[in-house]
Structure 1
Amino acid sequence: MLHHTAVKAALSAAVVIPALLIPAAGSAYAASPASGQTVTAQATSFDAKCRSHSRTYVLKKYYREVPVGPPTFITLRCGTSTWGWKHIKAGHGWNSTMDRKISAAIGTGDPNGRGGYSTYANQCPRVEKFRTIIGTPGGRNDLLTAYKVDQPAVADAARC
């Protein structure tokens, strides 16, 4: 009898567990924002963290290699509608691609003269593809915003 009960319990669990792993149509993982971009698990996690923490809560650190000494880092804080993660999510969209572009710009991009770092297309004149701006009311080394751009770098245009 004990063996029969264990088999029933195992079969019951086998049916319930997969149902728990499939996101419901109304869940945060299955939903898409109005922009049509896919909501990532990280965005859902950041939403939850920012709901329960202040605007200065650090969500992530982006590291920049420097020639001498330890790497420096730029923090992404929850922020507000005008700076930080909430601003980027609402104004520019947040997904894994945005996260990767921010990481690339901060990690290996060139200073952009706007207090941040940018990535450029490899052409002449150089065309700025993605820009970050650093410095917020929350901190000097905080990410204010990040966004896609398609414009020639003014200083480099004359050199071609």
Structure 2
Amino acid sequence: MLHKTAAKTALAATAALSALLIPAAGSASAATPASVSGSTVTARANSYDATCRSHSRTYVLKKYYRRVPVGPPSYYTLRCGTSTWGWKHIKARHGWNSTMDRKISAAIGTGSPNGRGGYSTYLNQCPRVEKFRTILGTPAGRGDLLTAYNVDRPAAVGAARC
């Protein structure tokens, strides 16, 4: 009888311990990070996935605003898109996370025109070195984000010295 009581106590203790070690389904530690091109996918990316599954390629996911000297700010849209443009393209080819979202916002918001129909951010050095580029204009509209990516090539040879 003593043996059965000890076994029941050990079993109950094991069950209680495992309940403490295994996170509940809704807890933050239960979420396992997914990876796209080596980047962690954020909750917003999962929400964009769900939204784009139930809407067309022209559905607007987000607006990025550009400050202009006079008048209201202009804006550019991020649409669901396809494998060649928009959010689906950026996610598949360049990875999507909160950092990518912030870089796009900074490039469009305060970046310089890049001559490719978009805006870029640059390192604060001389000569200027482009760090991040956006390109605008899609089959859905001129003010839509085609793509956005880090620029990882060195400055052009013969670039103007300061």
Equivalent position of 2:155 in the other structure: 152
* Bigger Cα Rg: 2
Which of the residues 24, 27, 34 maps onto 1:22?
27
Segments of 5+ residues of structure 1 without an aligned counterpart are 1-17
User: What TM-score comes out, normalization by structure 1 length?
Assistant: 0.80
Which of the residues 49, 62, 65 maps onto 2:64?
62
CA RMSD, 1 decimal: 2.2
Kept in 2, the 8 Å contact 1:124–1:157? The answer is no
Segments of 5+ residues of structure 2 without an aligned counterpart are 1-22
Which letter does structure 2 place at the counterpart of 1:152?
A: A
Deviation for aligned residue 1:141: 0.1
Equivalent position of 1:15 in the other structure: none
Which of the residues 93, 104, 112 maps onto 1:110?
112
Kept in 2, the 8 Å contact 1:125–1:153? The answer is no
Superposed CA deviations along residues 27-51 of structure 1, whole A, max 9, x for unmatched, are xx52322533211000000000000
- Name the % identity: 78
Alignment of 1:39-50 (within 5 A): 39-50=41-52
Which letter does structure 2 place at the counterpart of 1:145?
A: T
User: What TM-score comes out, normalization by structure 2 length?
Assistant: 0.79
Equivalent position of 1:135 in the other structure: 137
Query: 1:34 and 1:71, CA in 2 relative to 1: closer, same or farther beyond 3 A?
Result: closer
